[in-house]
Amino acid sequence: MSEYDVIVLGAGPVGENVADRVVQGGLTAVLIEHELVGGECSYWACMPSKALLRPAQALRAAQHVGGATQAVTGRLDVEAVLARRDTFTSNWKDDGQVKWVEGAGIGLLRGHGRLSGTKQVTVTAKDGTETVVTARHAVVVATGSDALLPPIPGLDDADPWTSREATSAKTVPASLAVVGGGVVGVEMATAYASFGTTVTLVSRGGLLAGSEPFAGEKVAAALREQGVTVLLNTATKSVTRGDDGVVIELGDGSSVSAEEVLIATGRKPRSGDIGLETVGLTPGEWLHVDDTLLVEGYDWLYAAGDINHRALLTHQGKYQARAVGDVITARATGKPVSDAPWGTHVATADHQAVPQVVFSDPEVASVGLTAEAAKKAGYDIRVVDYEIGNVAGASVYQDGYSGTARMVVDEKRKVVLGVTFVGPDVDSMLQAATIAVVGEVPLDRLWHAVPAYPTINEIWLRLLETYGRP
Ligand SMILES: Cc1cc2nc3c(=O)[nH]c(=O)nc-3n(C[C@H](O)[C@H](O)[C@H](O)COP(=O)(O)OP(=O)(O)OC[C@H]3O[C@@H](n4cnc5c(N)ncnc54)[C@H](O)[C@@H]3O)c2cc1C
Ligand SMILES: NC(=O)c1ccc[n+]([C@@H]2O[C@H](COP(=O)([O-])OP(=O)(O)OC[C@H]3O[C@@H](n4cnc5c(N)ncnc54)[C@H](O)[C@@H]3O)[C@@H](O)[C@H]2O)c1
């Protein structure tokens, strides 16, 4: 049996950062990983998906600037795109990340980890060998999430793609049906359409639910322009695989045929087989935590990243990792704990200041509350919209730039509660919005944050002018 100060179950981006943080704080830590060190994000999610999307985005950008348009006459080289993607996943090998773990002074145990009692984890290696590790101070569950396959008749036998197959495909199908109108569905429809695949996107509602409504509407219109058949408010009744691919029966009685079907209908917690029952928790559920990421009812068990279902995003999970790593260190060494909102040891931003970029074309970059969410939360709000294309910087940036910005203002405090930008390359403007939301910067002070001319950031000035000087 071996003992560490902290055991971290799962070496995804979140687990890695927790372990790094506690080791930097002077504690010992071991990471337990049964697949690839680096997790979903590195090999089947963020990195490969963005690598699949970026070349078409670069091509489209050049195609929309007169002068460059004339120079760019070729099509996307799909083989080269896939080859570049493979470099980002290190061909699904984790040697580089293992080297980093070792260099950071973190222990690594390969195998499937299961809680086997208070502050104890049993790791089963591939050859069946069991190792029991105990923690002096804390166990952090950072096991992430898996693709959720809904109970659609025939689906289990139809060999569907999940985000894993979509991000790691070695060849591109001639046709692809995508079920699900969330972030994965939209991004993968965008990527595969750019590869020349005939894509049909089936969504039971609109696209990008939870975002400002104009985001989903603009992305749906753009996908259609890119040749995607977008079927909204459409149920998926059954999926059947035959010799020629899959047939998807839709709610209106029609059907879609495709070589492959990607199911992008959300995530489920990776907690079904991690020994939760040995400590009094229910297997297969998300782990509920307080703002220091401590699992409710425990003083030694923490959960960070996707598994706590607060915000299923790498950057937000890594933010939690910094808070949880530091709070474990503080509690272990008897240092003061700073757990008031926005303190050192809490993940306050998870509640109302989560930034996200959907890498569709146009991009959707958002932070904070949408108008609907703000109203639901009881705020007295004013919504300010502005067409980004009317900003000088945008018109220079791209011919016929089209995009929309929305700022949601808390009328009582005169601060920004949320911002959404939809348009080409709006991701680079998101951090300013995040700072405005997290900093609760009063609008009259924002007037002094002068955007450089002529950049698209001048949208801030237009939003403030439209609101009027408070
Ligand atoms: C297609 C796709 C694209 C995405 N794109 C983005 C993006 O652009 N930006 C963004 O911020 N987020 C993105 N996300 C979300 C992001 O991937 C997740 O939020 C992130 O990976 C969560 O990190 P994590 O460390 O919590 O979990 P994971 O990355 O899932 O890591 C968990 C690790 O734990 C290991 N593990 C699990 N159980 C055990 C066990 N019992 N024993 C040992 N090891 C175990 C797993 O093997 C894995 O390595 C995307 C998701 C998908 C599906
Ligand atoms: N760029 C990014 O930041 C990025 C990219 C990809 C994924 N992610 C993260 O990964 C997570 C998973 O993404 P996702 O797109 O799988 O989930 P999601 O929750 O964003 O979207 C799921 C979609 O599936 C639909 N759906 C659910 N059940 C269904 C059913 N039975 N039949 C038909 N449709 C159904 C929902 O209505 C929704 O449109 C997200 O929470 C997101 O934060 C982030």
C-alpha span between 34 and 273 (Å, rounded) = 12
Q: What is the pLDDT of residue 207?
A: 98
Q: Which of 281, 314, 315 to mutate to test the pocket of ligand 1 (most atoms within 8 A of CB)?
A: 314
Residue 111 annotated as part of some ligand binding site: no
40 CA distance to ligand 2 centroid (A)?
15
Residue 438 annotated as part of some ligand binding site: no
Residue 18 annotated as part of some ligand binding site: no
- Indicate the average pLDDT of the chain: 97
- State if residue 392 touches ligand 2 by the CB under 6 angstroms criterion: no
Pick the CATH number of 362-467 from 3.30.390.30, 3.40.640.10, 3.30.1370.100, 3.40.50.2300: 3.30.390.30
C-alpha span between 284 and 271 (Å, rounded) = 5
- State if residue 41 touches ligand 1 by the CB under 6 angstroms criterion: yes
Is the per-residue pLDDT at 164 higher than 90?
Answer: yes
* Distance linking the first and last C-alpha atoms of the chain: 64
Break the chain into its structural domains and give their ranges.
Answer: 3-38+94-146+268-349, 163-265, 362-467
Is the model more confident about 1 or about 169? 169
- State if residue 89 touches ligand 1 by the CB under 6 angstroms criterion: no
Mean pLDDT within 420-426: 98
Q: What is the pLDDT of residue 470?
A: 76
Per-residue model confidence as pLDDT tens digits over 203-245: 999 999 999 999 999 999 999 999 999 999 999 999 999 999 9
In this structure, are residues 409 and 417 in contact, taking their beta carbons and an 8 Å threshold? Answer: yes
C-alpha span between 142 and 14 (Å, rounded) = 6
CATH code given to domain 163-265: 3.50.50.60
Strands 415-423 and 145-147 turn out to be: unpaired
C-alpha span between 264 and 223 (Å, rounded) = 17
Per-residue model confidence as pLDDT tens digits over 340-388: 999 999 999 999 999 999 999 999 999 999 999 999 999 999 999 999 9
Is the per-residue pLDDT at 415 higher than 90?
Answer: yes
How far is the CA of 325 from the CAs of 21, 119, 140, in angstroms? 5, 16, 9
What superfamily does domain 3-38+94-146+268-349 belong to in CATH? FAD/NAD(P)-binding domain (3.50.50.60)
276: which 2 tokens?
């939760």
pTM: 0.97
Per-residue model confidence as pLDDT tens digits over 22-81: 999 999 999 999 999 999 999 999 999 999 999 999 999 999 999 999 999 999 999 999
- State if residue 470 touches ligand 2 by the CB under 6 angstroms criterion: no
- State if residue 160 touches ligand 1 by the CB under 6 angstroms criterion: no
Domains 3-38+94-146+268-349 and 163-265 share a fold: yes
DSSP characters over 164-214: HHHHH-SS--SEEEEE--SHHHHHHHHHHHHTT-EEEEE-SS-SSTTS-HH
- State if residue 31 touches ligand 1 by the CB under 6 angstroms criterion: no
Is the per-residue pLDDT at 1 higher than 90?
Answer: no
17 CA distance to ligand 1 centroid (A)?
13
Per-residue model confidence as pLDDT tens digits over 92-150: 999 999 999 999 999 999 999 999 999 999 999 999 999 999 999 999 999 999 999 99
Ligand 1, atom 44, residue with closest C-alpha: 33
191 CA distance to ligand 1 centroid (A)?
20
